[in-house]
Amino acid sequence: MASIFFLTILTLTLTLTLLTPHLSHAQLTCTTQKFTNNKLYNHCNDLPSLNSYLHWSLNSPKNTLSIAFIAPPPTASGWVSWAINPSGEGMAGAQALLAYKASNGTMVVKTYNISSYTSIVEGKLAFDVKDTRAEYSDGLIKLFATVVLPEKGKTAVNQVWQVGPSVTEEGFPAKHAFLPVNLAAKGRLDLLSGRSTGGSGGGSRTRKRNIHGILNAVSWGILFPVGIIIARYLRAFPSADPAWFYLHAFCQVSGYAVGVAGWATGLKLGSDSKGVTYNTHRDIGIALFSLATVQVFALFLRPNKDHKLRFYWNIYHHGIGYAILVLGVINVFKGLDILSPESKWRASYIIVISTLGGIALLLEVITWIIILKRKSSKSTKPYDNKQQPLAP
């Protein structure tokens, strides 16, 4: 069993590195970019997420802002968008410009008034927009426009930018991803100084998501499976009694405590991310927390071994335990899909859980060999071959 605990420590060490924010790929700076019409802008910024760039010039007397937004769409048929939010941060309330390449090869620019996350309406914005056009080259979409600022003399705006995977046949943009880089694509832009700030709490939110992932991977994805392996296989060895029970209880109670912490961070993330919901991941998480809570409290209701209800308690206890095992591993992979870490972390967890599965399979074979030998030895008794003396 030492190998199981070694794997647990190894996985804890590996997954802790998820706390480090992901480094983006090397990229050019906005100062090296040029435009086909040789147009020049007074300012440019390398935006902090989605490998995006913004060039702009402010015409204070006319209260207009000329912009060139550059970003790579996730796919060749994807879309890019840049927006000003006059009423707050984030997408809710944003007045968005969106560009994509149509199926006939032409570039299309549309405007959307995003009054809420569930209401995205194509139409006129809260301010005038003119000279809109777009280009596509080298995997980048360049969106050009001139907007009349919503407030006279305003020299700073809340900006939001985004990219999405596709556009429907009717020309409506498909939902974008909700990865940390997408959620952090917002900030405050000073039109005069050229300074910009990333979305408030973007880095903090990413860190919270990573912590949430680590806690749940360790609890539901590692400690609970290890505890089940201990209970199922160590108890077959009389010399391991009652040590196996205390090890099993330690793993399950520790897993539950860590899992509750992970569940609580998930609730906090959900409350901080209005309009962003991962339904399947959330529902499985609620089911895991509920089942594990019932399972932990069942320890206090465990009948004695010779009690008539012990048989039914065992069925209930084992059934819930295996349900937690299956749902926990599934939800770890659901979480990895959401976090989208580097592939080596997914591969590391696959190696760990596969190794635990291999150990369980090997122990299953050994356990059955031991059980069959015991049954065989009990059923085979010495045969008395001596003849009884005949009666006189």
Decide if pLDDT at 226 tops 90: yes
Q: Is the model more confident about 203 or about 122?
A: 122
Predicted pLDDT of residue 87: 80
For 349-361, what is each residue's pLDDT tens digit? 999 999 999 999 9
Q: Is the pTM of this model over 0.85?
A: no
- Within 8 A by CB and 6+ apart from 391, the residues are none
Mean pLDDT of all residues in 161-175: 86
* Strand-pair partners of 196: 189
Mean pLDDT of all residues belonging to the chain: 81
Q: CA nearest 198: which of 9, 372, 361, 24?
A: 24
* Distance of alpha carbon 37 from alpha carbon 68, whole angstroms: 12
Mean pLDDT of all residues in 93-100: 90
pLDDT band (50, 70, 90) for residue 215 = very high
Least confident of 113-117, 312-316, 356-360, 385-389: 385-389
For 258-291, what is each residue's pLDDT tens digit? 999 998 888 887 776 655 567 889 899 999 999 9
- Give the H or E element holding residue 267: helix 243-272
- The burial class, CB within 10 Å (0-12 / 13-18 / 19+), for 21 is middle
Largest alpha-carbon pair distance within the chain?
137
Predicted pLDDT of residue 198: 60
Domains of the chain plus CATH, in order, are 30-200 (2.60.40.1210), 203-373 (1.20.120.1770)
- Within 8 A by CB and 6+ apart from 126, the residues are 86, 95, 113, 150
CA torsion angle 362 366 371 374 (round to 10): 180
Whether omega for the bond prior to residue 382 falls within 30 degrees of 0, making it cis, is no
* Distance of alpha carbon 204 from alpha carbon 392, whole angstroms: 100
Decide if pLDDT at 176 tops 70: yes
Predicted pLDDT of residue 20: 39
The fraction of the chain above a pLDDT of 70, given in percent, is 83
Decide if pLDDT at 134 tops 90: yes
Backbone phi, psi, residue 160, to 5°: -140, 140
Mean pLDDT of all residues in 208-227: 89
pLDDT band (50, 70, 90) for residue 163 = very high
* Distance of alpha carbon 202 from alpha carbon 320, whole angstroms: 38
Q: How many residues in total does the chain contain?
A: 392
* Distance of alpha carbon 143 from alpha carbon 280, whole angstroms: 35
Distances (CA, A) of 283 to 47, 85, 206, 267: 35, 33, 21, 12
- Give the H or E element holding residue 300: none
Decide if pLDDT at 116 tops 70: no
Predicted pLDDT of residue 390: 43
* Distance of alpha carbon 370 from alpha carbon 329, whole angstroms: 29
Predicted pLDDT of residue 105: 87
